[in-house]
Amino acid sequence: MKAPAISVIIPAYGVAAMLPDALDSLLAQDRDDWEAIVIDDGDARVAAAVEPYARDSRIRFLQTENGGLPTARNRAIAAARAPLISLLDGDDVYLPGYVSAMIAAIETSPTVGFASCDALYFGHDRVGERFSTYCPQATPATLERVLRRQFNIFICTTMRRAAVDAIGGFDAGLKSAEDLDLWLRLLEAGWDLAYVPQPLAQYRRRPGQMSSNSVVMNQSEMMVYEHARQRLEGRPEQAVAIEMYDRTAKLLEAELGLGRVRAGATGEGVNMLRAAEVHKRSLRWRIAMLLIRIAPGLAGPLIRLRDKI
């Protein structure tokens, strides 16, 4: 069998019902020299979703015990046969030109270790809007800009297998933000990022997905920035990693404070919100905290109103 040009890694835990959309988007690509590795990460429902595609030899299925998203991706990458690795979550889809555009972008220079793009939202909200509208992609995509989240790398990214292997793959110790951690380590290692500004994928918005769990996201991002701080000793970007750690710590404190208010521990929650300096975020927060200081009993109703907006 001829080796594929690109291996598409598709973790599918918890998204078996949406997996056909992802696989159909691969079948619609304008290049056919790809392989797809679907990994269930311990989800018994995935096998039935993959079975209708079993006749296509390009689509392979890995059954494993649950190990979490970073471990699942690492396992699938280890089984890949192509020199390029592309990521596609089981609930997202590629637009038809994704594979050809990513291969072209990464082949522009041997110093390009990975390539990414813009995307369109679909699902329960933001339908048709661009990823870059909410998550800026200000070029050039330097290490400092990725650290500061001034350039946000979309998850549907294609990487050189050699680059991923050289940095040890995804960090299995992270519950979330493992993609940010990988992007930082690739840039720290000297690889360039190529960017295609056109939307080449669709990102599904749905209730309950990992990116909506702000507490876990912030906890994981703090770990990412702390690890970056340690690795960047002696480099100018270390100060940025420290700054982002502190900023994320305040975001976490605010989320925990909101949780305490929702749970009825109003005084404790409001103190946490003050410590997180939420009044500096926006005029709306400044007004809310002023009202809460005047009438503490308003904290619960105001937070519930915020949750509905």
CATH number, residue 171: 3.90.550.10
Residue 66 lies in a domain: yes
Residue 1 lies in a domain: no
Q: Which pair of tokens denotes residue 48? A: 């039935």
Alpha-carbon Rg of the chain, whole angstroms?
Answer: 21
Q: Domain span at residue 255?
A: 215-308
113 and 190 share a domain? Answer: yes
> How far is Cα 84 from Cα 162, in angstroms, rounded to an integer?
8
In this prediction, residue 308 carries a pLDDT of 74
Q: Is 45 exposed, middle or buried (0-12, 13-18, 19+ CB in 10 A)?
A: middle
Q: Is the pLDDT of residue 306 over 90?
A: no
225 and 287 share a domain? Answer: yes
What letter represents residue 248's amino acid?
T
Q: Average pLDDT for residues 85-113, to the nearest whole number?
A: 98
At which of 209, 231, 264 does a domain end? 209
At which of 157, 181, 209 does a domain end? 209
Q: Where are the beta strands (DSSP E) in the chain?
A: 6-11, 34-39, 59-62, 84-87, 93-94, 112-123, 158-160, 192-205
In this prediction, residue 138 carries a pLDDT of 97
Q: Is the pLDDT of residue 208 over 70?
A: no
pLDDT digits (tens, 9 = 90+) for 219-248: 999 999 999 999 999 999 999 999 999 999
In this prediction, residue 307 carries a pLDDT of 79
164 and 185 share a domain? Answer: yes
223 and 297 share a domain? Answer: yes
Residue 97 lies in a domain: yes
In this prediction, residue 19 carries a pLDDT of 98
pLDDT digits (tens, 9 = 90+) for 77-96: 999 999 999 999 999 999 99
Total of domains in the chain:
2
Name the percent of the chain lying above pLDDT 70: 98
102 and 176 share a domain? Answer: yes
Distance of CA 268 to the CA centre of its chain: 32
pTM value is 0.93
191 and 84 share a domain? Answer: yes
Nearest Cα residue to 191 out of 108, 103, 105, 111: 111
Residue 31 lies in a domain: yes
234 and 202 share a domain? Answer: no
At which of 157, 192, 209 does a domain end? 209
What letter represents residue 225's amino acid?
Y
Q: Is the pLDDT of residue 59 over 60?
A: yes
101 and 42 share a domain? Answer: yes
229 and 162 share a domain? Answer: no
In this prediction, residue 221 carries a pLDDT of 97
145 and 129 share a domain? Answer: yes
Residue given tokens 């056919």 in the structure block:
32
